[in-house]
């Protein structure tokens, strides 16, 4: 889908690329919210748009990575701590990059006399969001990283192949 969006932009269909990007981001954000057990504001009709889904997905991933880092710190697990910190850093940078570009989506979808985005600008937006959403998936198995189990007390943030497996349980404090 990312390549299709870029192709639309390269063919001067910036509005088409922006529309496809927005729909894809809504779908991907919903999937991330489900996998990460993010809290999304209730809507009786079940309608959620990008603003309702993207921020909760991002916020939940940041929160889960922080919890995994704190758990790794409690166990003095330097290997796991380094992996979580690397994930936090990469995710924070991708979020920053995507947020810088996000404003361009709506003006490109709708008619605006003041906004005439060029194909290179739209491709930069697509690239930024692809770089962000890649980080919601394992780079080895390609599966969406999720909270396990799906209900109840959270135990892990993990992928299917096990390359990503960050525990949330902190080391119990020893009573003195």
Answer yes or no: is 156 within a domain.
yes
The span from the CA of 63 to the CA of 71, in Å, is 12
Write down the mean pLDDT value for the chain: 91
Tell me the pLDDT tens digit for each residue of 65-110: 999 999 999 999 999 999 999 999 999 999 999 987 666 665 555 5
User: Is 161 inside any structural domain?
Assistant: yes
pLDDT tens-digit series, residues 137-163: 999 999 999 999 999 999 999 999 999
92: in domain: yes
Domain of residue 111, residue span: 2-40+50-167
Q: Is residue 152 part of a domain?
A: yes
Give the chain's largest Cα–Cα span: 69
Q: So what's the pLDDT on residue 51? A: 86
Residue 13 domain flag: yes
Burial class (CB in 10 A: 0-12, 13-18, 19+), 103: exposed
φ, ψ of residue 150 in degrees (nearest 5) = -70, -20
Residue 33 has pLDDT above 50, yes or no: yes
Q: Is residue 58 part of a domain?
A: yes
Where do the H-state alpha helices sit in 37-77?
50-75
174 located within any domain: no
ω before 121 within 30° of 0 (cis)?
no
Domain membership of residue 173 (yes or no) is: no
165-167: strand order across its sheet: 146-148, 156-158, 165-167
Residue whose pair of structure tokens reads 């979808």 in the numeric block:
109
What is the domain count for the chain?
1
């Amino acid at each position: 889908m990312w390549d299709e969006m870029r192709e639309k932009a390269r063919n001067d269909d910036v509005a088409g690329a922006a529309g496809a990007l927005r729909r894809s981001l809504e779908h991907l954000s919903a999937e991330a919210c489900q996998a990460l057990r993010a809290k999304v504001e209730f809507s009786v009709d079940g309608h959620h748009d990008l603003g309702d889904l993207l921020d909760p997905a991002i916020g939940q991933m940041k929160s889960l990575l922080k919890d995994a880092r704190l758990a790794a710190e409690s166990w003095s697990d330097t290997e796991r701590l380094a992996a979580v910190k690397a994930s936090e850093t990469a995710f924070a940078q991708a979020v920053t990059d995507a947020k810088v570009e996000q404003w361009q989506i709506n003006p490109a979808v709708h008619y605006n006399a003041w906004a005439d985005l060029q194909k290179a600008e739209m491709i930069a937006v697509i690239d930024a969001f692809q770089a962000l959403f890649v980080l919601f998936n394992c780079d080895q198995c390609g599966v969406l990283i999720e909270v396990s189990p799906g209900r109840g007390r959270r135990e892990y943030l993990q992928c299917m192949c096990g390359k990503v497996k960050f525990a949330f349980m902190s080391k119990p404090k020893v009573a003195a």
